[in-house]
Amino acid sequence: MRVPVLTVAVLSTTFGFTCAEHLHPSLLGLLWRDPVALSHYQWWRLFTPLLVQPDPWPRALTVFLLFLIIGALSERLWKRKAWLILYFLCGLTGEIAGYFWEPYNAGMSVAGAGLLGSLAARMVLLARPWQAKLGGGFIILGAAILICTSDIHGPPILVGALMGAVMIRHRTSLS
């Protein structure tokens, strides 16, 4: 079994920025979603919100644990290039949704949600037991419900599921 290098690298980076942000709260203002700053050509703000998890520590640690589980499993099932593409495109999708629904915030959970969506696609399309197919379907249904409630995690789950389905159908990026 290979070590989930990408998951550990992303998690370590985000943990480091989160620790720095808790020690120096002004750092958050440089990284988070800020529509005014984005309108002034600070394009990096489409991705830098993924670098910090500004929640109180119990919630941030929960996000980190869930990301470790979902990220490691995704990295085991997808090739690393596919994992990176999923992480960044789904993260971007979540951050764009965030600019509409939650403009001043940050977090890596949207990228993890996209990885979860890709796992849901695998469950629906490749799993043998009907229970796994049903579980994957519930994740995708849950994403649609999240979108209806303006939750920024819904769009990246659906994008991750769509990307996962396309990769499966074209037999690309499967490990």
Q: Which CATH number fits domain 5-169: 1.10.443.10, 1.10.10.10, 1.20.1540.10, 3.40.50.720?
A: 1.20.1540.10
Q: What is the pLDDT of residue 157?
A: 98
Q: What is the pLDDT of residue 87?
A: 98
- The neighbour count for residue 2, using CB atoms within 10 Å, is 8
Orientation angle between helical segments 154-169 and 109-126, nearest 10 degrees: 40
pLDDT of residue 175: 58
**153: Cα within 13 Å, side-chain hemisphere:** 16
pTM of the model: 0.95
Rg of the chain taking only CA atoms, in angstroms: 16
pLDDT at 171: 79
Low-confidence ranges of the chain (pLDDT < 70): 172-175
Identify the pLDDT of residue 172.
67
